[in-house]
Amino acid sequence: MSNSEVPQNQEKPMEVSANFFQGKYGKFCVSRENLDLQVAVVEQVLAVLNSAKFQEKLDPAGESSSPISVAGGEFLARIIPRTILDKIKFQVRAVLEKNEVADAKNAELKKMKSALNKCQGELKKIERVFENIQVGVVEARISVENESLEKKYLYANPAFCEIFGLDAKKYSVRGENLKNLGNDFPPEVRAKLQEKDAELFQKIQENPEEVEKGFSQKFSDSFLDSEGKMKYLCVDRFCKKVGEEISVHAAVRDETKLHDALEKLRVAVETKDNFFNIIAHDLKSPFNSILGLAEILSDDLEEYTVEEQKKMLQAIFGSAKNAVNLIENLLNWARAQSGKIEIQNESFSASTVCKNVTSLLAATAEQKKIKILENSNGAVVFTDKKMLETVLRNLISNAIKFSPEGKNIVVSVEKNETGIQFSVKDSGVGMSSEKKETLFVPGENESTPGTNNESGTGLGMLLCDEFVKTLGGKIWVESAEGAGSTFYFTIPDSKDSVEK
């Protein structure tokens, strides 16, 4: 079978004439897709070059004096196809190599895109964590080109905005709004931040190498929020110089609840110490008085007149009563502090409670010739009777203690817009403004002697404050030195607050 023949069971290749080198097939566009086609074309070119027709085109007369003869034609038939094939192979190889480089670059690009997508995914996860944690997170840059210390914020999470009373929807994003964040801080916070930035600038001047490497700072501070409440913060920040700016990343923890819990613990410890001091000293004194007087009467009763015996018995009675009242206060205070006290509300006349308390204190008031006047205005209250009696007993006892002989004490009850208001007014020595500030503060309400040098513990005022708050009311005092005192307290009103 000749080179120009194609088996019938094979697809007939592209027809190629002797004008192959002169026509549009003179250049090959090499690519992977047409490589098989080009090989088929080359095979047909070989067949054409070996054909008689092609030999006639080379030498029509058959007698050429050119060095190229029929033998030369056979030589060309061998050489030219190989040259074309080599050219094709070279072009194919160049394209393949170029495609391999492109494929390698594409593969590398895909890897880089995959890595970038992964990093972006991890960044979103981190930002979601920052969005939900209770710790404030903020990122900022501080310009140090001059002492103006211009600061720009790049990120603030919702917790940070909440701590400082800022609009989380407005600022907890990376965007243009953050440039105004510094202006919306409370004035006190802005001033403190400027102080910290000035300290940072000073550190740059004194120790630039440390700033270049980066350093951490931790400090605590406090400020008044927009509602006038004190907030206590702990700040951890990392600072590092980047070009002409300081990069600042800070974590801000609101430790107000922790501070309040520690303060309550401190007060509880002081209260416990005060409690034991009362037991050790104030409760011991009345019993010593009782024991001493009882011993005198027991050993030498006949040596004293009836009048003297009566006075000693009255002193024993007074000491015993004071001891009982103190023990009762201690027990009530202990129950209130432990949270085990139960409120048992009932409806009753305010006049009944006032009369019960004044009758208990009548003997003590009589010793100083003090009259207790009561004006309940027919009020009916709905509250815990025993707790109310304890508050009134302590306030009236306090009024007797600090009133001179022959004065009056007025107990009043009236209904107003805040509920049922009780007041206990005396004409005693009064108190200073400093004393008023600490009167209901555990550990600071030091007791002072009465007009007849009566001693006290200060526990009664604390108990009054505790019980009034437990009943849902509030207590306060109006007083001036030498002008007497009036103690007020309120309890919630009820539907049966006025007798019908």
The whole-chain average pLDDT of the chain stands at 75
Does the reported pTM lie above 0.85? no
SS (H, E, C) 373-420: EEECCCEEEEEEHHHHHHHHHHHHHHHHHCCCCCCEEEEEEEEECCEE
**Higher-confidence position of 218 and 62:** 218
Q: What is the pLDDT of residue 80?
A: 47
Q: CB neighbours of 273 closer than 8 A, spacing ≥ 6? A: none
> How confident is residue 486, by pLDDT bands cut at 50, 70 and 90?
very high
> How confident is residue 425, by pLDDT bands cut at 50, 70 and 90?
very high
Instruction: Identify whether the C-beta of residue 338 lies closer than 8 Å to the C-beta of residue 315.
Output: no
Q: What is the pLDDT of residue 74?
A: 45
**Higher-confidence position of 261 and 67:** 261
Q: What is the pLDDT of residue 475?
A: 92
Q: What is the pLDDT of residue 487?
A: 93
From 258, 241, 324, 256, select the one nearest 290 (Cα to Cα): 324
Q: Is the pLDDT of residue 422 over 90?
A: yes
Whole-angstrom Cα distance, residue 8 to residue 247? Answer: 80
Hey, what are 461's tokens?
């005022």
Q: Is the pLDDT of residue 277 over 70?
A: no
Whole-angstrom Cα distance, residue 415 to residue 43? Answer: 119
Whole-angstrom Cα distance, residue 38 to residue 44? Answer: 10
Q: Is the pLDDT of residue 39 over 60?
A: no
Q: What is the pLDDT of residue 6?
A: 42
Give tens-digit pLDDT for 427-464: 888 888 888 888 888 767 667 777 777 766 677 888 88
Strand partners, 219: 235
> How confident is residue 298, by pLDDT bands cut at 50, 70 and 90?
confident
Mean pLDDT of 165-175: 71
From 139, 354, 349, 353, select the one nearest 249 (Cα to Cα): 139
Q: Is the pLDDT of residue 492 over 60?
A: yes
Instruction: Identify whether the C-beta of residue 494 lies closer than 8 Å to the C-beta of residue 442.
Output: no
Give tens-digit pLDDT for 4-20: 444 444 444 444 343 44
Whole-angstrom Cα distance, residue 223 to residue 221? Answer: 7
**139 class by beta-carbon count within 10 Å (0-12 exposed, 13-18 middle, 19+ buried):** middle
**Higher-confidence position of 1 and 321:** 321
Place of tokens 């207790």: 372
Q: What is the pLDDT of residue 175?
A: 59
How large a percentage of the chain has pLDDT more than 90?
Answer: 6
State CA 72 to chain mean position distance.
97
Q: Is the pLDDT of residue 218 over 50?
A: yes
Q: What is the pLDDT of residue 366?
A: 82
User: 242-248 contacts: CB < 8 A, separation 24 or more?
Assistant: 242/141, 244/143, 244/144, 244/145, 245/141, 245/142, 245/143, 245/144, 246/141, 246/142, 246/144, 246/200, 246/204, 246/211, 247/139, 247/141, 248/138, 248/139, 248/140, 248/141, 248/142
Instruction: Identify whether the C-beta of residue 455 lies closer than 8 Å to the C-beta of residue 392.
Output: no
Q: Is the pLDDT of residue 271 over 50?
A: yes
The alpha carbon torsion through 359, 364, 365, 367 (nearest 10 deg) reads: 140
Instruction: Give the side-chain half-sphere CA count within 13 A for 375.
Output: 9
CB atoms within 10 A of CB 235: 16
CB atoms within 10 A of CB 317: 13
Q: What is the pLDDT of residue 419?
A: 87
Strand, helix or coil for residue 481: coil
DSSP code, position 471: T
**Higher-confidence position of 110 and 146:** 110
Instruction: Identify whether the C-beta of residue 309 lies closer than 8 Å to the C-beta of residue 296.
Output: no
Q: What is the pLDDT of residue 89?
A: 62
> How confident is residue 31, by pLDDT bands cut at 50, 70 and 90?
very low
Q: What is the pLDDT of residue 490?
A: 92
Strand, helix or coil for residue 11: coil
Instruction: Identify whether the C-beta of residue 461 lies closer than 8 Å to the C-beta of residue 445.
Output: yes
Strand partners, 345: 384
Instruction: Identify whether the C-beta of residue 485 lies closer than 8 Å to the C-beta of residue 479.
Output: yes
> How confident is residue 421, by pLDDT bands cut at 50, 70 and 90?
very high
C-alpha distances (whole Å) from 414 to each of 381, 388, 417, 418 are 10, 15, 10, 10
Provide the phi-psi class of 441: left if phi over 0, else alpha when psi is between -120 and 50, else beta: beta
Q: What is the pLDDT of residue 152?
A: 83
From 439, 440, 442, select the one nearest 267 (Cα to Cα): 442
> How confident is residue 68, by pLDDT bands cut at 50, 70 and 90?
very low
Q: Is the pLDDT of residue 87 over 70?
A: no
Mean pLDDT of 288-306: 81
Instruction: Identify whether the C-beta of residue 471 lies closer than 8 Å to the C-beta of residue 491.
Output: yes
Instruction: Identify whether the C-beta of residue 493 lies closer than 8 Å to the C-beta of residue 471.
Output: no
Strand, helix or coil for residue 111: helix
Amino acid at residue number 309:
Q
Report the relative pairing of strands 408-416 and 371-375 from DSSP bridges: parallel
Q: What is the pLDDT of residue 67?
A: 38
Q: Is the pLDDT of residue 234 over 60?
A: yes
